[in-house]
A and B are shown apart, each in its own frame.
Chain A
Amino acid sequence: MKQADAANFFIRDLDLVGDGSGSKEMAADFDPTADNFFLTPNADETLVIQQLRMRMVDDAAILKANIGSIPSAVNGIDFMDIFSFETSSTSLFLNQGNVDITANYQLFELFRSKSAHPFISNPQMIYGVLDFSEMFGSPLVLDGRASPQGNRLRVRVTEDLSGLVSFRMTAVGRRIQPTELQ
């Protein structure tokens, strides 16, 4: 342990660009034009992602069978994956086999829910944590030193979620040195 470790702490919302410079707000209209939210390491950095945190906020009750506040969603979140731009391939679909996430309860298969949300009397906010070590035995490593860009974390939304107040995903973890990679 050392004080300097804090400089390697990493926290960033997924965004449309991947480097934190794009829009981070998923509460927008992505139907019919889908869009991708990324987490992309810079070319010279390697990220160890411990957790992905999801927060969905509405001003009405969020129902389990909707996606966001949209009932009868068709495409919803049509994939969450770890995508390599180098090989144009996906190493892991978090939504098993690329099954569309069309209901909020499906989000909780990935994002472990906290059972109570004490700010609210009705569930107008849902909050969940996807902990990579807990699920897969190790954190997610995104190595920007790989050519050309290495892997990205990608979430593709294909639904009109503009009725929500806010919907964001935040990645937390740390930057590591190449010597820490095996």
Chain B
Amino acid sequence: MTLRQRDAASFFIRDLDVTGDGSGSKEMAADFTTPDIFFLTPGAGETIAITELRLRMVDNTTLLHTNLGPLTGAQTPGIDIFDVFDDDASATIIDFTQGDEIGTNARLCELFKPESAHPFIGGTQMYVGTMNFGEMFGSPLVLDGRSSTPYQLRFQISENFSTLVGMRITAVGRYISPRELQ
């Protein structure tokens, strides 16, 4: 592997947002009684290799594993879409929820592996988890905006999360060139 200073220009970091290109709201601590979808969509002509998703949930009170976000108890429909989606073909490529909505924070932990230290807090009012695609699936997630049918990452919340202080999901990875695609 050749290392170059200019590689930094290919680094990618963006919160999922309701538009998909980074221009929409990124804040998941809101009322989604009317469901909304947070996307990551590659721009036309760009190909992104997503290494990791990072989830951060912050509350003013203790976050419990048996709740979903700040809501007491298991929730339905909860987080009912978390997938990679081909919008042109209207097809789910991989469903991270396995067909069941995510109804508790504990289930979020299955996907977003808990990190061991949260130095900003003395209690349990913040949760940070990572979902590393290479670790889980053997390769990063590639979203190819050059493809005629680009994939997008989707995360739909169908609950009222407005009492949270903040909740975001950040995608990190890098832009790759066509010659890096097989």
Contacts and interface: CB of A to CB of B under 8 A. Distances in A.
A85 interface: no
Q: Is the interface of B mostly helix, strand, loop or mixed?
A: mixed
Interface stretch (A37-45, A94-102, A144-152, A166-174): A166-174
Contacts, number: 127
A51 B134 CA distance: 11
B67 to A, nearest CB: 8
Contacts of B47: 3
A163 interface: no
Interface string B44-74: 0001010000000000001111100000000
A19 interface: no
B165 interface: no
Contacts of B127: 118-119
Contact of B124 (A11, A118, A170): A118
B84 A6 contact: yes
Interface stretch (A28-36, A69-77, A123-131, A154-162): A123-131
B21 interface: no
Interface stretch (B11-19, B31-39, B115-123, B154-162): B115-123
Nearest to B84: A6
Nearest to A120: B65
Contacts of B62: 121
Given A3-B150, A120-B64, A125-B106, A114 B124 contact: no
B24 interface: no
A1 interface: yes
A57 interface: yes
Given A1-B142, A9-B137, A114-B114, A127 B98 contact: no
Contact of A125 (B109, B126, B133): B109
Contact of B65 (A2, A13, A20, A57): A57
Contact of B109 (A6, A115, A119, A173): A119
A135 interface: no
Given A3-B147, A55-B110, A117-B114, A173 B140 contact: no
Q: How large is the interface on A (under 10, 10 to 19, 20 to 34, 35 or more residues)?
A: 35 or more
B142 A57 contact: no
Contact of A131 (B66, B106, B109, B135): B135
B114 A116 contact: yes
Interface string B63-91: 11110000000000000000010000000
A53 interface: yes
B101 interface: no
B65 A6 contact: no
B110 A114 contact: no
Given A1-B140, A1-B180, A59-B66, A118 B106 contact: no
Contacts of B143: 3
Interface of A: 1-3, 5-13, 20, 48, 50-51, 53, 55, 57, 59, 114-121, 124-125, 127, 129, 131, 139, 165-166, 168, 170, 172-174
Given A9-B93, A50-B136, A124-B65, 9 more contacts: A2-B181, A3-B151, A53-B110, A55-B110, A114-B114, A118-B114, A120-B65, A121-B123, A127-B109
9 contacts: A5-B141, A10-B137, A11-B95, A11-B98, A53-B113, A55-B107, A117-B114, A119-B63, A120-B124
